[in-house]
Amino acid sequence: MAVIALLARASPLAKPSLTLPIRAEIGTRQLHLQSYIVTPKELSNALTKNVPTKNASGRVVPLCAAWLMPNDPQGRTGRQLFQEKRIPSAKFFDVDAVKDHGSPYPHMLPSPENFARAMQKIGIKKDDEIVVYDTQELGLFSAPRVAWTLRVFGHPAVHILNNFRLWVQQGYPTEDGKMEASEEESSDYPVPSMEASKVVHFPEMKEIVKDQIKGNSQGIQIVDARSGPRWTGAEPEPRPGLPNGHMPGSINVPFSELLDPNTKTLLPGQKLRQLFESKGLDPEKAIVNSCGTGVTAAVVDAAMSEAGFGNPENRKLYDGSWT
């Protein structure tokens, strides 16, 4: 089984410090939403408080993070799904565009400068309160990765909608069609600092895996969010040329098990905690979440936040993951 060669190559990293709690205010402004995971009703109520002017500050902004696997049977893109149905006033974050284009691996974090340029082009402002959401079809899939990315780059107020499927089912408004040029806007989003301690890169991951092989894990748990058959190697990876299998010592927690089978929302916190414990995870130990390319690993991170499982300072995400 290929192991070390599969770990995504990237630059070294600093020491742990993971997901930040939602700040109660930005400067002197009280936030509209207090929780990381928010309901459709909470988002709808918050949107009614937006000032209806183009250059308003302190807005609540829905951010569509729709993304599909490269082997989608219909060859669809996230932008297509955004144009077919979205929350009114929503903006679109292109997971395949906002990344490190110099890396041969998909979805590696962009530089702070490129992240700022992307936010400027999307029209996101530093004092916007962002609510990231997914497709109606998938429920929760790529939105947690985008929310995690925003937090890595220090955006003050970030939330995840739980979820767009419920938003539609509960009768909240939607719109469709391409965005008109008059609706698009740019911003002066500043170049942020990157909270590198939230991320594990290849050199650090290589040492963690070596320790796992030697039976000396130093209390670090590796979680793999891919499906069971992909983790065992029974099914091929969706990207051509990748070996099958998993990192030694990793614990398989398929992200799909964290979601309600009907609504695709995150399970209640208590059920999530019980699921993590049933997998043998210890909340007192450090956790590195991984998956195929670093997208659904963030679903696990969001679920751990919702469950209050472990210390957020001891959770990291392996950028690039199995690729």
Cβ proximity of 310 and 283 under 8 Å: yes
What count of residues does the chain have?
A: 323
Write the DSSP symbol of residue 126.
Answer: T
Measured from the Cβ of residue 248, the count of other Cβ atoms closer than 10 Å reads 17
In whole angstroms, what is the distance from residue 18 CA to residue 301 CA?
A: 10
In whole angstroms, what is the distance from residue 188 CA to residue 183 CA?
A: 17
Surface-to-core class of residue 134, CB atoms within 10 Å of its CB (0-12 exposed, 13-18 middle, 19+ buried)? buried
Write the DSSP symbol of residue 123.
Answer: T
Pinpoint the alpha helices (H) of 201-248: 202-214, 228-232
β-bridge partners, 289? 223, 317
Catalytic residue chosen out of the listed positions 65, 291, 299, 307? 291
Task: Tell me how many degrees the CA angle 254-256-259 measures, rounded to the nearest 5.
Answer: 130
64 is known as an active-site residue: no
Surface-to-core class of residue 269, CB atoms within 10 Å of its CB (0-12 exposed, 13-18 middle, 19+ buried)? middle
Question: Active-site positions?
Answer: 291
